[in-house]
Chains A and B, each alone.
Chain A
């Protein structure tokens, strides 16, 4: 019983220690968004566009301060940029997006170009300008406006302070005719892909990102620079209440609908801060951009940032049992201690009544003989009485019976001697005790 308790305690301890290396990962459930593989060209980000040879480009940039290669998309506010350049010799080479590694290398090798723009990525020498606010990203990705990137870059190359530059992006209300077209198509098949947009139907990641209601998608091509852009989101949100509405302008994604205030800006900031440079350099199809953005929405949804109830976690018996283990262990320890203490308690010295009667008998014999004893028999008698006293002490202090018996044997031998010296056989202990008992 005691040892089985000990065994149980040890097993519990081992189980507890083994379970200590469960997992280090802490997560509100596992986000099912797919990891973003980054291999150039796999996501359709390379375009048909190409660039001439380095020599040809150098010749072109020698002839003109600003060279736009065919297919380039970057636009800027001419007046603001001209003012920023002033008299300095700044030459800008604008290349199309979606160039491959070798083509981008050729663009970099044009040394006469002070600033090169690939897609909407602005670089000058070893520097690169990046947007860091939502209005700047919106202008850059919705209409190819790089004014806010270009001006600081020019100022930096001139080693001058940069003034604050506003993006020239403006919203306008969509017209009734535009809205009717989009609304009708959204009602029919849940998405509207305008002429020139590259979205192909509703992306796969939509269901995970918006599990509560089916999302509506409007895909528009990159908006012409300098013109106000129709803002479909709020208008559509009024028409389709409680439906998530995603409007894509070029590579820019606007969200309206339920929870917009909670996560739309956050996701945009996360998404464009992470992928801004790639989106600017390459020419991704809208479907891929949208998929990556929806995965980010899913991540935020599963991150539990907004007091959402936790996703369902399957019942795990181990998690329920673990908290009880220490107390089971404690109970086993307590049981083991109790049983050990009981087994340790002073064993009751087996009082052997035979020793008492023998002691009493021998004492009586000694007293009887003492009256008869003479000079010759006194020493053994005294020694015998000494042994009897020692035996009494041993009995009273609970010494083992073997010791009592040894002392009694000694006493008996001495008394035997006494009787022998007296010449009285009837006082020999064996005979005397037998007679007494008889």
Chain B
């Protein structure tokens, strides 16, 4: 009986592990993808803002503060929320510089 008991036990543990794994792994994977997407967007926005800043003749203090904030968030590497915040700051800075350039 002891051998078959271990079969039941190990089998039960494996089933539980498979259940946990099959819900957890896709979820983790999706989270990773969401994070990478958010950072991709954020980095592209920061790059655009940097270009706009270089193209602008006048200094816009508000925009520079926003971009500095976005860059510091990006330097800290965070989750989806941090990336979204960085992207939002960079876009606003970008808009401010473009507006300043158009004059």
Contacts and interface: CB of A to CB of B under 8 A. Distances in A.
Describe A's contact surface by its main secondary structure: helix
A397 interface: yes
Contact of A400 (B12, B37, B47, B101): B37
A390 B8 contact: no
A333 B44 contact: no
Contacts of A403: 37, 40-41
B8 A379 contact: no
Contact of B48 (A329, A330, A383, A406): A383
A382 interface: yes
A393 interface: yes
A410 B44 contact: yes
Interface in B21-42: 21-22, 25-26, 29, 33, 36-37, 40-41
A414 B15 CA distance: 53
Contacts of A390: 40, 43-44, 47
A4 interface: no
A344 B28 CA distance: 12
A100 interface: no
A340 B21 contact: yes
Given A386-B48, A400-B33, A337 B7 contact: no
Interface of A: 6, 9, 13, 16, 323, 325-327, 329-330, 333, 336-337, 340, 343-344, 346, 378-379, 382-383, 386-387, 389-390, 393-394, 397, 399-400, 403, 406-407, 410, 414
Contacts of B43: 390
Report the contact-size class of chain B (Cβ under 8 Å from the partner).
Answer: 20 to 34
B3 to A, nearest CB: 8
A383 B93 CA distance: 14
B86 to A, nearest CB: 14
Contacts of A343: 22
A407 B52 CA distance: 17
A46 B51 CA distance: 122
B15 A333 contact: yes
A387 B48 contact: yes
Given A13-B8, A343-B22, A333 B40 contact: no
Given A6-B15, A9-B11, A403-B37, A379 B52 contact: yes
Interface of B: 3-4, 7-8, 10-12, 14-15, 18, 21-22, 25-26, 29, 33, 36-37, 40-41, 43-44, 47-48, 51-52, 54-55, 101
A346 to B, nearest CB: 8
A379 B40 CA distance: 20
A416 B56 CA distance: 20
A386 B44 contact: yes
Contacts of B33: 399-400
B18 A16 contact: no
Nearest to B37: A403
B7 A344 contact: no
Given A390-B44, A403-B41, A9 B15 contact: yes
A330 B9 CA distance: 10
A397 B37 CA distance: 10
Nearest to A375: B55
B25 A344 contact: yes
Contact of B22 (A340, A387, A410, A414): A340
B43 to A, nearest CB: 6
